[in-house]
Amino acid sequence: MSEYASDRPRFFVIAVDGPAASGKGTIATGLAKAYKLPVLDTGLLYRCVGVLMKKARGNLDDEAAACAAAALLTADQLDDPALRTRAAGELASRVAVHPRVRNALMEFQRTFARQEGGAVLDGRDIGTVIAPDAPAKLYVTASPKVRAHRRWTQLKAQGERVSQKDVLADIRRRDARDGGRDAAPMKPAPDAVLLDTSEMTIEQAADAARRIVEVARARWNTTS
């Protein structure tokens, strides 16, 4: 049994994984509010490393340089609105392929997960690598077209001018890179519950996620 699992009684960790614009961020925030837990959007860590590399005119394929940027990252850098842009998403997925970058960001995420009471983390590898013993795991998906429409709407609200076709191409490229990389590829943990939000409103998705977590919580309460 891992060190993490032996800590199980104190931390109710909810792992929310899935591809870009699947609804996992909204779901994670809703669950955090419902269960009064802190929430971490782990994509911001990779976005921040990508943006730092870009600012320093670094080569995104340079693993050592990206790792050095990751080691300098602090929590107060994560509020920067520049991290929410379309470009930052692409930079993030480029640096996220490097195993040393992922390792450099691991402790930050695990420390966040091990807060008294627990935490909600959303990302790509929370249920598989960061918190494999999390008592509640969701893998949130939606069709690429639905995700592209959602992301396009968000970007438009942020003032970015981009076509839905280009956003769909971004999403497909990112899915392929995130799912195809060797280091912690995006995939559901074997014990994750799949939630396809393609046909759901935000409210319906949030309700479905809550029901999944209720079942996990009841199980956790009887076993811890």
Binding residues among 143-172 for ligand C5P as defined by CB under 6 A = none
Q: Which one of 26, 42, 128, 197 is in contact with ligand C5P (CB under 6 A)?
A: 42
123 binds ligand C5P (CB under 6 A): yes
**For helices 63-71 and 43-55, angle between their N-to-C axes, nearest 10 degrees:** 110
Binding residues among 165-204 for ligand C5P as defined by CB under 6 A = 174, 178
Which stretch of DSSP H or E encloses residue 194? strand 193-196
For the bound state, the minimum distance from the C-beta of residue 113 to ligand C5P, rounded and expressed in Å, comes to 12
For the CA atoms of 189, 195, 198, 203, the dihedral, rounded to the nearest 10 degrees, stands at -140
Report the first-to-last Cα separation within the chain, whole angstroms: 14
Residues in the chain: 224
In contact, 155 and 167? CB cutoff 8 Å: yes
C-beta closer to ligand C5P: residue 189 or 215: 189
For the bound state, the minimum distance from the C-beta of residue 92 to ligand C5P, rounded and expressed in Å, comes to 4
20 binds ligand C5P (CB under 6 A): yes
CA distance 31 to 16: 10
92 binds ligand C5P (CB under 6 A): yes
119 binds ligand C5P (CB under 6 A): no
Contact footprint for ligand C5P (CB under 6 A): 20, 42-43, 46-47, 89, 92-93, 96, 123-125, 174, 178
